[in-house]
Amino acid sequence: MCELLALSFNLPVAPCVSFKGFRKRGEDNPDGWGLAFYPDKSVQIFKEPLSAKESFLSEFVEKYHKIKSQIFIAHVRKASKGSVYFRNTHPFNRELNGREYVFAHNGTLLNYEKKLKLGRFRPIGETDSEYVFCHLLSCIEERKIKEWGEGDFKWLSSKLRKINEFGSFNCLLSDGKHLFAYHDMNGYNALQFLHRKPPYSEIRLIDEDWRIDLGEEKDPRQKGYIIATRRLTNEEWKSFRYGELMVFKDGELIYSNKRKIIKYYHSKPT
């Protein structure tokens, strides 16, 4: 089935709590795991073609509090297309216009190669996920997007919907500044989001009997959003709408094609 996880916060955070809950999902998705984050303008990716639950590296990542970033993208894989190799393990990354883009996908796409053309970006592995990532980057390059604006968000929403026509499609994308999260237009699987902000209190994980008082662990200035295929904690998670693209920046939700955003993000100058 594969599952997705992403974070967007206003300050660098350690993903230990969310990643602890997410690692458990590797039991049902044993064919690979990966975590991408931005320690600075460059991206760092840890990934392996084995279960996150069995990986010593993923255990280290969970417990190592010095891994911090404003944006994280994670994935646990159950292979539907492409063998269980490192080259087919999410997230994938490429450089475009001096930024490192990262992508992860949940779902299966079919018969897309003739319609979704590639430019200079080419997949290394055999997955539908990496292929559509390369296609998206070519489209972004053709549109000449260097600084994203609201018009570009609307364009991306339309582009993702067209890709979605080839099958089931939930995805996460980031350029190191923005986090883009899209939910399948037919409601395949699920996608949930949580606005985590102070005052913090005790929470518990859904998949195991483990609790933590965030008030004792969190910097009270930290706030942001967590996105996951299924809710990880007993907090107040909400569901994405079918075909919804959400865009986050610095821990704020700045765009949605399906709901009104109180704090608007202004379009770039023309």
Q: Report how far residue 59's alpha carbon sits from residue 52's, in angstroms, rounded to the nearest whole number.
A: 8
Asked if 176 and 43 touch (Cβ cutoff 8 Å), the reply is yes
Strand order in the sheet with 245-249: 92-96, 99-106, 170-174, 178-182, 245-249, 252-256
Q: At 164, list the tokens.
A: 């979605």
**E strand intervals along 97-210:** 99-106, 170-174, 178-182, 192-196, 202-204
Asked if 227 and 191 touch (Cβ cutoff 8 Å), the reply is yes
Q: At 137, list the tokens.
A: 């980057």
Pick from 87, 82, 93, 92: nearest CA to 126? 82
2 part of the active site: yes
Active site residue ranges: 2
